[in-house]
Structures are given as C-alpha cells and as structure tokens.
Amino acid sequence: MSRRYFGTDGIRGRVGEPPMTVDFALRLASAAARVLAPDGGSVLIGKDTRVSGYMFESALEAGFVASGVDVLLLGPMPTPGIAYLTQSFGADLGVVISASHNPYDDNGIKFFDHRGRKLSDALEARIEAELDELPVTRESSRLGKAKIVGNVRSDYEQFCRNTFPRGTNLEGLKVVLDCAHGAAYKVGPNVLTELGAELIPVGCSPNGRNINAGCGSTRPDLLQLTVPGVRADVGIALDGDGDRLVMVDHAGQVVDGDQLLYILAMDRAARGTLQGPVVGTVMSNLGLELALQAAGVDFRRARVGDRHVMEMLETSGGQLGGETSGHLLCLDVTTTGDGLINALQVLAVMQRTGHSLADLTGGMRRLPQVLVNVAIAARFDLDASPRVQMAVRAVEAELGDRGRVVLRPSGTEPVVRVMVEGEDDTQVGTLARQLADAVAEAAADQQRLIS
C-alpha cells in the first residue's frame, strides 16, 4: 500500500496547509485509534515548543477521546522521552507533535507503538487507509478521558542518568549544551547538571517561535563559537525534538553523526561489547566505512531514515547505527534515537579514556562530501529522467571507484538531495553543483509539461 501523508519521519508540513490542519489532526487521531487501539486503551501525547503545538494537541485529544481512548497529556517533552514513557506507562501508543529540526511555522505528527518503536510502513499505510472514513464518536459510556500528567519529566531524566556508567560522573567536564529552544530545554540541563558537569546552556529559552532559529544540531555555528570562547571541553547540540545529536570539540570543530557513530563503535569493539554490524545509510560518509573496515568492524548501509536503520539492525542482530545528521541508535541502552542519551554515551567514552573528543575522532578521515538540496515544485521520478541519468553517469565516470553519487527525494521537505563524495574537495563541489543543475532543469521541464 502506498503512503500519501507519512514521510521519512511521520507527517510534516507547513501549519495551516494540508495536511497540517486541525481537521486533519482530528481525523488522524480517529484513524490511528481504529488501527492501534480498536478496543480503547490509552495514548500519550507530547510535543515540542512550537506555538502551533497547542491546537494540534487539542485536536488529537478530541479525536482520541471520541474514539474511546484515554489521553495522557505530557506537554513539552523530547521525542525519545515520549517513546520511553509510552513503554513504561504501558500505553497502546505514543504521539509526538513536532517538526523536529524544521522552522517553527512547520509542524508534524509521529507515532510510537506500545514498545516505544516507530511504526512500520505497513502500519502507517493502514492508518492512511482509515483516513478516508469519517471520525468516530462513540456513545457517552464508551468515550475516553483526558488528563494532564505531571512529574513524568523526572522519570525520563532518571532513565537518562541511568544509562551513564555506574560509579562515574561528569565532574571536571565543562559542557556547552544547545537545546535549539526545543523540547529538551529542561531535561537536558537537568540531566547533565545532576551528573556533575559544569554546564553552560544556550538555546534553552523557548518562546514558541524561536525553535531551531540559528541554533541546534542543524545550525551549530553558535556552539562552535561558544565552546572555545568559554574554554569548554565539549559542546552538545540537539534539535527541536531532541532526537538528533551533533557535537563540537574543544577547538570548535563540528563532530557529525558519522564521527560519533565511529567513536561509539570503536569503544564498544575495544571493550568487546559490540554486537552485530554497525549500520549507516547510503548517505554515510565513505570514511566511516573505511575506518570501521580497517578495524575489522562489519558496516552496512540502509535506506535513509532511522526507521530503516532500525529495521536493518533488527534483522542483522546489530545494536549500533545511525545517520550523518545525528540520528543515532544505541539499542543496548534505549529503544529509539535519543540525542541526550547518545551524548552521554560519547561523554562516557571521554571520561573513561581521558581522551578529548578531537582525539577520539582521529582514526576516521571524512572524505569530502557535498550535499546540495534542489527545491522542486512536485515530486518526479529521477530514474525516469534521461537528463538526470546522463548527468549521473558523467559524474560517476569522472569519480571512478574513488567516490559515490546519491540522489534521493527528501521525505520531509520539497527538495531532492544531491550528494557527491570523493577525494578532492574542489572536484566534489564542482560535480555536485553540475548534478544539482541537471536535477533542477529536469524538474523545471516536468513542471512546464504539467502546466
């Protein structure tokens, strides 16, 4: 079954435009209840700090209550926190209202099942099929109830602290934490402070409209200036809903998801606790693959999206995987990507070994990789475009066997992502722009034909 609304990470779009409207959210809650909680049950609803979260929260609450499902409202809470609490509360599902790293005038809705795992493609397709039906309102005796749940943040904070090695702490470590004015703005500082870090918080003053604005994991510029400026040991950048992680070393250099995955894999391999292969994606830097292979660590590539990384880990028996963007999975400590917990895993390696973040990345050489986002008005089949395919073949021929090309439509934005990777910075940049121009021209040709 094809999916009309669900993308790489739930449903996402500009607030007030389909599908991110109040009436759609109500229908979505009713459809999800019929698929995931047909006999009633309970749902946890959390959100990030966007001003539009209030209205979507109310619409989802109405749809679930009308369907006979009890609603527990958590308020602002990191996405991985909702995954954890869904499981610990024994709820039938969890719902997150967030557009992750997108600007505040976007929003989104994503689901977790009763295990705290993201839904499969098949379940998302079943929910979409139910959207054609009118929302259900049960008789009064079968309606659900709704209540605000207090003091659950401390439960999640305790869970995060418990993932840090027993008998150790963060004393002596000066940390700058950027929460992107998002969902982790209270949890993050609390956890790091309680573990003993000397903390300098930035991006922890949300006002509903500043989420991800010039800060967070997609805009670490402020963190790069702040860490060396205050002589901190390390910087941590989360995104708006707290599931992505990017770090900055003491010199202000960004350490991305591939490098963090390398650090965690090498540490687990050295301690003999690494199980199964390490899983990246087609976008993971070739330098990660080569470094792990040199260390005798099996590395595999999944489709883009942490759900697909999760699926490959489950089928291969692995526990460690992730994406360049900072979506990392440490399944030996939690069920989903958790930016704060993953940061604690890296900080634990620093404390255990006495090495700086820069030292720990030294064994991996990132090959030059250029990513260009090409805006498109409508999706089109890249494989069916002669112009695009001819351009791809030309670039691949010039790179030979020392580089890679990846083209893929974004699952969350109206863009095609063009990635070129090779050994020479100048060549890679030139080829990426050349290929991006071909994609833009092909998209324009299609739009002219449509109009």
* Beta strands per DSSP E along 104-229: 106-112, 146-148, 174-178, 198-202
Alpha-carbon distance of 161 to 158, in angstroms, equals 5
DSSP-based three-state secondary structure for 310: helix
- Other C-beta atoms closer than 10 Å to the C-beta of 133 total 11
**Residue with the two structure tokens 């833009």:** 440
Alpha-carbon distance of 364 to 286, in angstroms, equals 10
**Please, what CATH class does the domain formed by 155-252 belong to?**
alpha beta
Residue 23's identity, in one-letter code, is: D
**Could you report the per-residue pLDDT of 423-448, keeping only the tens digit for each?**
999 999 999 999 999 999 998 887 77
The edge-to-edge listing of strands for the beta sheet with 11-14 is 11-14, 106-112, 93-97, 41-47, 69-76, 146-148
DSSP 98-132: --TTS-TTEEEEEEE-TTS-BPPHHHHHHHHHHTT
Alpha-carbon distance of 404 to 288, in angstroms, equals 14
Residue 236 DSSP one-character state: E
DSSP-based three-state secondary structure for 404: strand
pLDDT at 437: 95
Please give the CATH topology (third level) of the domain spanning 255-360. Alpha-D-Glucose-1,6-Bisphosphate; Chain A, domain 3 (3.40.120)
pLDDT at 52: 98
**Could you report the per-residue pLDDT of 138-194, keeping only the tens digit for each?**
999 999 999 999 889 999 999 999 999 999 999 999 999 999 999 999 999 999 999
Active site residues: 100
**Could you report the per-residue pLDDT of 210-235, keeping only the tens digit for each?**
999 999 999 999 999 999 999 999 99
Q: Domain ranges in the chain?
A: 11-150, 155-252, 255-360, 369-450
**Please, what CATH class does the domain formed by 11-150 belong to?**
alpha beta
**Please, what CATH class does the domain formed by 369-450 belong to?**
alpha beta
Given a contact cutoff of 8 angstroms between Cβ atoms, the answer to whether 376 and 414 are in contact is yes
Identical fold between 255-360 and 369-450: no
Q: Which residues of the chain have pLDDT under 70?
A: 1-2, 412, 451
**Residue with the two structure tokens 């958790």:** 338
Residue 257's identity, in one-letter code, is: G
DSSP-based three-state secondary structure for 97: strand
